[in-house]
């Protein structure tokens, strides 16, 4: 399939330095990984390469650091979590380029696994600067991309390196593309999409095309607030990107033209603080207090979401409906997840969900195994669904 080389084509790797781009952008609370799905999914590629005697050097980003290195965005705790999942030591180097990286790589024995510090501690990573790519490439003989969930980013470690070193798709990259093609390549209609979560500015644009591919788009989570505000609803202190009101309005126009129903929350669970056990109340969406934050959609909206799931033959879902990490703001996400899982078990729904936090939410609801397919990817999965070429995948085909 796919037109790129995989680990089946890689040949002898014993003693070779293999730079493996993985996605370790995992949910973390109080310094602990709260959902290890992304780590579990990269284990096959790491084990296979290490088992063949390669020096496996992991490259990854974590979060969106703005100001260079910081403890908050360090991958060091994730190296420990990765070691736990792999059941073997994972060494860590405090930089992804330069002397620290070179020394750690030089100390590796065949079969060792090393994680390099957050690539986004260098601004040049996101700018895909050739000089930075050269510095990354200096530590490798071969490049493997196993980060499907970051393949929508044309960064040095996700795209640039593939121009510089012999490049292969890892097992998860391969499996994700195969599974998405199987589940959604020719989806049975009606197709209903649920999009929520918090990455409003980076995901809103792709809704413009998504509304042309699906029959209904249910918008929840932080994403909904921008649409509600664009429609003139006062969302108080909720997460909302007011400057994207024009984009939200245009998406609603495009959806109407394409015959795609847009479903926005009719009610919300509001609180004054974003913390566990904060006092909360459910209000009609027109009655959000000026000092309140919508942290979940309300019961009326949940009913509407489950009704849309009942109408769907295919469901695609990225982004939780509320701040599910904090009780009681997990109610809507858990209810929708359980409902979709039940429909899938009954054979009435093909359900495909993805995203680092969405997977964590499905695990929290205890239903991840009941979905037809759970992708590690959120934004990349939606862009794939849009039909947009993913830079990290396209470059592997060259």
Ligand X SMILES: Nc1ncnc2c1ncn2[C@@H]1O[C@H](COP(=O)(O)OP(=O)(O)O)[C@@H](O)[C@H]1O
Residue 38 C-beta: closest distance to ligand X15, Å: 8
Q: Does residue 23 interact with ligand X by CB under 6 A? A: no
CA distance 208 to 296: 24
* Catalytic annotation present for 356: yes
Q: What are the respective helix, strand and coil percentages of the chain, to the nearest 5?
A: 45, 15, 35
Contact predicate 322/333, CB 8 Å: yes
Q: What are phi and psi of 269, to 5 degrees?
A: -95, 120
Radius of gyration, alpha carbons of the chain: 21
Residue nearest ligand X15 (C-beta atom): 378
CA dihedral sign of residues 198, 203, 209, 214: negative
CA distance 380 to 190: 22
* Catalytic annotation present for 196: no
Q: By CB under 6 A, what part of segment 292-321 binds ligand X?
A: 294-295, 318-320
User: Which of 236, 356, 391, 392 lies at the binding interface for ligand X15 (CB under 6 A)?
Assistant: 356
Q: Residue 357 annotated as binding?
A: yes
User: Which of 100, 199, 237, 272 lies at the binding interface for ligand X15 (CB under 6 A)?
Assistant: 199
* Catalytic annotation present for 38: yes
Q: Does residue 322 interact with ligand X by CB under 6 A? A: yes
Q: Does residue 150 interact with ligand X15 by CB under 6 A? A: yes
Site mask, ligand X, residues 166-205, x = CB under 6 A? ------------------------------xxxx------
DSSP for 229-283 reads HHTT---TTSS--GGGHHHHHHHHHHHHHHT-EEE--SEEEEESS-STT--EEEE
Q: Name the residue among 40, 13, 20, 7 with its Cα closest to residue 96.
A: 20
The structure tokens 């990854």 sit at 60
Number of residues that bind ligand X (CB under 6 A): 20
Q: Which of 80, 88, 164, 199 is catalytic?
A: 199
Residues tagged active-site: 38, 199, 356, 379
The contact set with ligand X (CB under 6 A) reads 196-199, 221-222, 239, 294-295, 318-320, 322-323, 325, 355-358, 378
The contact set with ligand X15 (CB under 6 A) reads 23, 25, 64, 149-150, 153, 199, 202, 355-356, 377-379
């Amino acid at each position: 399939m796919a037109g790129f080389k995989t680990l089946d084509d890689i040949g002898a790797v014993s003693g070779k330095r293999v730079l493996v781009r993985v996605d370790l952008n995992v949910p973390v609370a109080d310094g602990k990984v709260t959902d290890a799905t992304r780590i579990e999914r990269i284990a096959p590629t790491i084990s296979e390469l290490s088992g063949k005697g390669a020096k496996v050097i992991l490259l990854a980003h974590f979060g969106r650091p703005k100001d260079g290195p910081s403890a908050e965005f360090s991958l060091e705790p994730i190296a420990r979590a990765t070691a736990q999942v792999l059941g073997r030591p994972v060494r860590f180097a405090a930089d992804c380029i330069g002397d620290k990286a070179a020394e750690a790589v030089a100390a590796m024995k065949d079969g060792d696994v090393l994680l390099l510090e957050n690539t986004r501690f260098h601004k040049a990573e996101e700018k895909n600067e050739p000089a930075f790519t050269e510095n990354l490439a200096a530590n490798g003989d071969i490049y493997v991309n196993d980060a499907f969930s970051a393949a929508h980013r044309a960064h040095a470690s996700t795209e640039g390196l593939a121009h510089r070193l012999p490049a292969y798709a890892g097992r998860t990259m391969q499996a994700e593309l195969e599974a998405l093609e199987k589940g959604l390549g020719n989806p049975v209609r009606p197709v209903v999409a649920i999009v929520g979560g918090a990455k409003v500015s980076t995901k809103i644009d792709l809704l413009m095309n998504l509304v042309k591919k699906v029959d209904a788009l249910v918008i929840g989570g932080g994403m909904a607030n921008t649409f509600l505000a664009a429609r003139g609803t006062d969302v108080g202190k909720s997460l909302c990107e007011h400057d994207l009101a024009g984009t939200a309005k245009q998406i609603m126009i495009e959806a109407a033209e394409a015959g795609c129903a847009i479903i926005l929350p009719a009610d919300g669970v509001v609180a004054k603080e974003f913390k566990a056990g904060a006092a909360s109340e459910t209000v009609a969406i027109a009655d959000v207090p000026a000092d309140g934050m919508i942290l979940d959609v309300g019961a009326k909206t949940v009913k509407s979401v489950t009704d849309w799931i009942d109408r769907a033959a295919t469901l695609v879902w990225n982004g939780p409906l509320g701040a599910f990490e904090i009780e009681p703001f997990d109610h809507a996400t858990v209810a929708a997840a359980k409902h979709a899982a039940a429909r899938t078990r009954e054979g009435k729904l093909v359900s495909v969900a993805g995203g680092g936090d969405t997977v964590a939410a499905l695990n929290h609801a205890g239903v991840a195994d009941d979905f037809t397919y759970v992708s590690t990817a959120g934004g990349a999965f939606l862009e794939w669904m849009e039909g947009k070429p993913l830079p990290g995948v396209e470059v592997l085909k060259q």
